[in-house]
Amino acid sequence: MPHATIVGGSIGGLFAGTYLRAIGWEVDILERARNDLASRGTGIARHLELEELIAKAGVTATDAVGIFVNGRDGFDENGNIFGCHEFRQQLGAWNRVFQPMFDAFPTDNHHSGSEFSRFTRSSDTVEIETGDGRTFKSDLLIGADGFLSAIRASVAPDITPHYAGYVAWRGVSHEQDLSNDFQTEIFHRYAFLFPRFGQLIGYPMAGEQGTTAPGKRRYNYLWYAPLSEADLTDLLTDADGKTHDYSIPPPLLRDTHVTGLKKLAKRHLPPLFREAVFKAHATMVQPIYDVDSDQIAFDRVALIGDAAFVVRPHVGTGVLKAAEDAYVLSQCLKGATDINAALNAFESERLPAAKNAVRHGRRLGAFIEQLCEIPEDLPENDLDRERVLRVSGRPFEHIVSYDLW
């Protein structure tokens, strides 16, 4: 039986592991984190394609996984609606994808607290070593280890994350903490705002145990705001003066930055929307990076998910893309006698789709990156606020096939 070692036990790793087992492979997943990944993460859009991929993995949701919204509403600086786009969509929570996938994968083969250290290749095997000295002999190594992938650094060291010049603040509040006005006017909407030089989206999401019962749900916002490289360094520096690479764990974010965000909210958000920022029980910040690869298949090594490409969150397909990569990889490997030929077929199919998604994300974020107040201030990008409502949070293929440009 062929054997794969997957480095990274998050969304991409779990989908790949599950699909490979279904086609008769033995799989071990190495996950660096010891703690509970499911307790992290915020809201995500659940595209229909994702539901199909979850079903193809043989995983069935036992309860509601998200909240439906009927469309997107654009709000101006005074809090009045300037445009709507009808589009029924289910908004869920990251852990409502992660947890069922994790539960479906055999615990004996999911090694948490196992950090990848190095690998060596011979003509027909890959030998993977962990930091604590264990080795796994495999036919295939899959890098599903996220945007700072150590596997990518080993096989394609020139591909590194590129900072886009802005960050996304994220916050989640409990429905019951929000005012009656917020609950009746805003809560049920998928809202788009364009506070000066940035963009904010907000939407309802399920409560902590996945409940969609009124009163127990949560509200999620994501606010893109420009930030210079120098200010980013300060943001990534914790109270002990340690500057973190690329991102900072939420508990280490200095209060001064959250206070600064609240000041910005007071100045630039319509009064009702300020609540989303002020009442959030958890505030996180995610610097926006692009990872754009020219190769994702190497000798007995494949990259999937964020290790392969990072698409800006405007497109809302991080989870979907990781699951699609995993599925296509498993279908290329099904019955394959030549693993490298199968990997090349995987690359041929996934590379163009991922490059389109990266380009789409860059276009959506270009006005923020170029310090324009609103999308219309960058006419060569051919995007106005109404169009942003239509084309955000959807895979590139939708934009093309529904002729949304």
Ligand X SMILES: Cc1cc2nc3c(=O)[nH]c(=O)nc-3n(C[C@H](O)[C@H](O)[C@H](O)COP(=O)(O)OP(=O)(O)OC[C@H]3O[C@@H](n4cnc5c(N)ncnc54)[C@H](O)[C@@H]3O)c2cc1C
Binding site for ligand X (CB under 6 A): 7-13, 30-33, 37, 40-42, 44, 94, 115-116, 144-146, 150, 305-307, 313, 318-319, 322
Q: How far is the CB of 46 from ligand X (least distance, A)?
A: 11
Q: How far is the CB of 185 from ligand X (least distance, A)?
A: 25
Residue number with CB closer to ligand X (191 or 319): 319
Backbone angles phi, psi at 187, to 5 degrees: -50, -45
Longest dimension (CA), the chain: 66
Q: How far is the CB of 266 from ligand X (least distance, A)?
A: 26
| The three-state (H, E, C) secondary structure of 193-250, written as one string | ECCCCCEEEEEEECCCCCCCCCCCCEEEEEEEEECCHHHHHHHCECCCCCECCCCCCH
Q: How far is the CB of 403 from ligand X (least distance, A)?
A: 26
Residue number with CB closer to ligand X (127 or 386): 127
Residue number with CB closer to ligand X (8 or 395): 8
Q: How far is the CB of 379 from ligand X (least distance, A)?
A: 30
Give me the residue whose beta carbon is nearest to ligand X: 305
Whole-number Å distance between alpha carbons of 217 and 231 = 34
Residue 64 structure tokens: 């509601």
Q: How far is the CB of 371 from ligand X (least distance, A)?
A: 25
Measured CA distances, 272 to 61, 264, 331 (Å): 34, 14, 48
Q: Which residue's structure tokens are 């039986």?
A: 1
Residue number with CB closer to ligand X (154 or 212): 154
DSSP characters over 67-98: EEEEEEEEE-TTS-EEEEEEEEEEEEETHHHH
Residue number with CB closer to ligand X (308 or 383): 308
Pairing of strands 199-205, 162-174: unpaired
Residue number with CB closer to ligand X (204 or 318): 318
